[in-house]
Amino acid sequence: MNDKRIPEFAIVGHPNEGKSSVVSTLAEDDSVRVTPTPGETIECQTFPVIIDGKELIRFIDTPGFQNPKATLQWMREYTGPDEMIVRAFRDAHLENLDFRDDCELLKPITEGAGIIYVVDGSRPLRKVDRAEMEILRMTGCPRMAIINSKETEQSYLEQWKSEFRKHFNAVRRFNAHQATYAERIALLENLKSIDQDWQPALEAVIEAFKDDWDARNVVTADIICRMLTDCLTHSVSRNLSRNSSEEKVRREVAVKYSQDIEKKERSAHKRIRGLFKHNIFNYELPAQSILHEDLFDKKTWQVLGLTRKQLIITAGVSGAAVGAAIDVAAAGVTFGVFSAIAGAVGAGWMALGGDKQLAKTKVAGLPLGGHQIKTGPHEQIQFLYILLDRALIFYSHIINWAHGRRDFDNAYKDKKLPAKAGLTYEWDDSSRKICARFFNALRSGDDEEQEAARNELKAMLQKVLYTLSTTVKRYG
């Protein structure tokens, strides 16, 4: 370890084996250059992990081995002190272009960095791999081997494991393109075993990682609650003059309401994405995700939220309004007030609440008679569950999108969504009561009750987010 007692690990291996992807995922840094072109990394680059302004750990992206067989041969002929072998090799070859990358990748090792050796486990073991492993063994540094391969490609797995046990203090499978938060923590836990002297520092790192993740979940729960409040209390109204077309104004109000709600939802999702450090590359949803459907699309209302039976029970227990949402959940057709605009803004509008209010208004002291068209606040509790499901699905996608990944393989593109693809329909009665209390509190106008209900919902959501963080299950 370096003199400052900050754990530091050089990610080394053969070119194009996934080293940069591992660095990006472990450091949660999508600025790491990841490319399928071999040899793109020619200089070491350090990526620190900083939490609350404090640097906790460093991961160093290194060039791939350039001439491992010749490097190993030189080391085997070396006769100096064992602890000086790496430094002596670099001193002897720094000006030799044939060993440029080898000298560069060994630089952090001479400065006390631990070693994480990365291989593509989907291919067979080669002589050059054995040479690289032996070089790393001869450094005497604490070292771990990572098999970076897809779950389906296991033909050579045992061959790699057998060879790794001869050269490394720890061995772990780690798919840098699909690694979840739980898998990153498990890898750090594994790192503690490679050197007893490093264990206290790494334990502190792991605790800081966990505390930071919990803090992000607290903020995420708050973002979701604020988004729900904004969406469930929002309304749009327009005055209807004598010369205006009522149908046209209805359409304008409906479209404006839809646009406002979707903007609020997008803003919340963007903030969640930023919390989990996806800042540079465009995150692409899985091709089959229900989030590709508009919020007010009929399919969204059929696949997300509660079932028809659950809605009826919820209404009976809590007194929350259900209305047309029951028919949508059952794939029925109920247009009600919005029959005139359903065709203009999508079938999902059949589920919206709204009314036409007669009003007497005054402008600049002049009495003007007329009508007012108003949409919102939304009257059905199913809308709450739709928004919740979409937020939690988005969160699930984001936390399971490894930073080392630059595309989505759409392995699940042919998978059909189940009848209910969200999370909320799986919740128990106590969770649904919390949701109903929050929904009713927003409609009550009681500030104290709203605050209490929001805090209760926020606490429940924090538990839900923690569960999503520590389990691997794909939702819509």
Q: How far is CA 130 from CA 69, 88, 135, 163, 369, in A?
A: 9, 22, 9, 8, 88
Structure confidence at residue 404 as a pLDDT band (50, 70, 90): low
Please say if the pLDDT value at position 200 is more than 50. Answer: yes
- The model's pTM is 0.80
Strand-pairing partners, residue 356, are 373
**Averaged pLDDT, 372-385:** 86
How many Å apart are CA 277 and CA 49, to the nearest integer?
A: 12
Q: Evaluate if residue 350 carries a pLDDT over 90.
A: no
CA gap 268, 262 in Å, rounded: 10
Is residue 311 within 8 Å of residue 301, measured between CB atoms?
Answer: no
How many other CB atoms are found less than 10 A from the CB of residue 124? 10
pLDDT of residue 334: 32
Q: What is the chain's mean pLDDT, rounded?
A: 80
Share of the chain above pLDDT 70, in %: 77
Paired with 45 in beta bridges are 61
Structure tokens, 3: 């003199």
What's residue 348's pLDDT? 35
Which of the given ranges, 192-201, 318-327, 387-396, has the highest pLDDT on average? 387-396
The CATH number assigned to the domain with range 8-194 reads 3.40.50.300
pLDDT (tens digit, 9 = 90+) per residue, 282-316? 556 666 778 888 888 888 888 888 888 887 777 66
Q: How confident is the model at residue 449 (pLDDT cuts 50, 70, 90)?
A: very high
Residue 314, pLDDT score = 73
pLDDT at 215: 95
Query: Of the ranges 13-22, 188-197, 342-351, 364-373, which one carries the lowest mean pLDDT score?
Result: 342-351
Q: What is the pLDDT of residue 203?
A: 92
Per-residue pLDDT for 39 more than 60? no
Q: Please list the residue range(s) of the chain that carry CATH number 3.40.50.300.
A: 8-194
The tens digit of pLDDT for each residue in 3-35 reads: 457 899 999 998 888 888 888 888 887 766 655
Mean predicted confidence (pLDDT) in 54-68? 92
- Strand boundaries in 149-193, DSSP class E: 170-173
- 58-62, 226-230, 343-347: the lowest-pLDDT one: 343-347
Q: H helices within 233-297, ranges in order? A: 246-275
More confident residue, 419 or 213: 213
Band of residue 414 on the pLDDT scale cut at 50, 70, 90: very low
